[in-house]
Amino acid sequence: MKKSLYAGAISPQKIADSIAHHQVKTNIGAHDIFLGQVRADEIAEKKVVAIDYSCYEEMAEKVFHEIREAAFEKFDLTCLHIYHSIGIVKAGELCLFVFTSSRHRKMAMDACRFIVEEIKLKAPVFGKEVFEDMTHQWKVNS
Amino acid sequence: MNITILFFGMLAEETRTSVLELNTASLKLRDLENEVLNLFPVLKKLTYGIAVNEIIVQSNVKLSPGSKVAFLPPFAGG
């Protein structure tokens, strides 16, 4: 099973490398990419400096796998990659990388949206928002 | 029978527990859930979902020896 959980922030270099790896796959005509970034929210005058992600690992990998399978079933995709950070990701850094590739744009774009929404809804990933003074609160998806 | 109870995120923090092996007479999920709520009354004021053997369940499923019952706080992925 392909692993989706990724230790720490996802570097822009990783994304660039991933795009480069697809240049040999010349049946692809369209990519879509979603990047989730940690926001420095201000809550009760305290600023979020990082999110410390944790998860139910065995279940999370299973859920990511099922989302992949569902996406391949539903959309005509050539390629699909999902990476979600675990551990500390600082504000401004990337925590989610979804990369869909297809012959044509519509499939790549629709699949990308579907996958991101499914992850938000189904992946047992938990986020501790850490403030400047090192206190924290638990994030809930809206 | 022995059941493994797992807590994550805020729930692990509030119960100060991440894994618990419970020897229980409960055969169904709701009975086990009540048992766990009695052990950790703090859970009563928290929002959670339950996964049995890594699958989210809503109904009062039957448990088997060695079942893994996970208490999951609201998801925050993405």
pLDDT at residue A44, rounded to an integer? 85
Beta carbons of B9 and A123 less than 8 Å apart: no
B2-72: CATH homologous superfamily?
Beta-grasp domain (3.10.20.30)
- Residues whose CB falls within 8 Å of the CB of residue B32, separated by 6 or more in sequence, listed in order: B3, B22, B24, B26, B63, B69
pLDDT at position A142: 72
pLDDT recorded at residue B31: 97
- Banded pLDDT at A19 (limits 50, 70, 90): very high
Please determine, for residue A141, whether its predicted confidence score (pLDDT) is greater than 90.
Answer: no
**CATH code assigned at A116:** 3.90.1170.40
Where would I find the H helices in A3-104?
12-21, 57-74
Tell me what pLDDT residue A140 has: 84
- Which value does ipTM take for this structure? 0.94
Asked if the model's pLDDT at residue B67 lies above 90, the reply is yes
The helix-helix angle for A57-74 and A105-122 (nearest 10°) equals 150
The shortest CB-CB distance from B8 to any of A54, A139, A140 is to A54
Q: Are B9 and A95 a contacting pair at CB < 8 A?
A: no
Closest-CA distance of chain A to residue B64, Å: 19
pTM of the model: 0.94
Indicate whether A1 pLDDT > 80. no
A81-118: per-residue pLDDT in tens? 999 999 999 999 999 999 999 999 999 999 999 999 99
- Nearest residue of B to residue A139 by CA position? B76
Residue of A nearest to B73 (CA): A126
Q: Which helix (H) or strand (E) holds A131?
A: strand A125-131
**Residue span of the structural domain in which A62 resides:** 5-139
Beta bridge partners of A121: none
Give a three-class secondary structure readout of B12-77.
HHHHCCCEEEEECCCCEHHHHHHHHHHHCHHHHHCCCEEEECCEEECCCCECCCCCEEEEECCCCC
Q: For the residues A6-22, what does the mean pLDDT come to?
A: 97
Which two structure tokens, joined as six digits, stand for B15?
Answer: 């119960």
How far is the alpha carbon of A63 from chain B, nearest alpha carbon, in Å? 9
Q: What is the pLDDT of residues A34-81, one digit of tens each?
A: 999 999 999 889 999 999 999 999 999 999 999 999 999 999 999 999
Determine the average pLDDT of the residues in A119-123: 97
pLDDT at residue B78 in the model = 86
pLDDT one-digit tens code per residue, B16-63? 999 999 999 999 999 999 999 999 999 999 999 999 999 999 999 999
Total structural domains within chain A: 1
Which long-range contacts (C-beta less than 8 Å, at least 24 apart) are formed by B45-49? B46/B10, B46/B11, B46/B14, B46/B73, B47/B73, B47/B74, B48/B11, B48/B72, B48/B73
H helix or E strand, kind and range, residue A91 = none
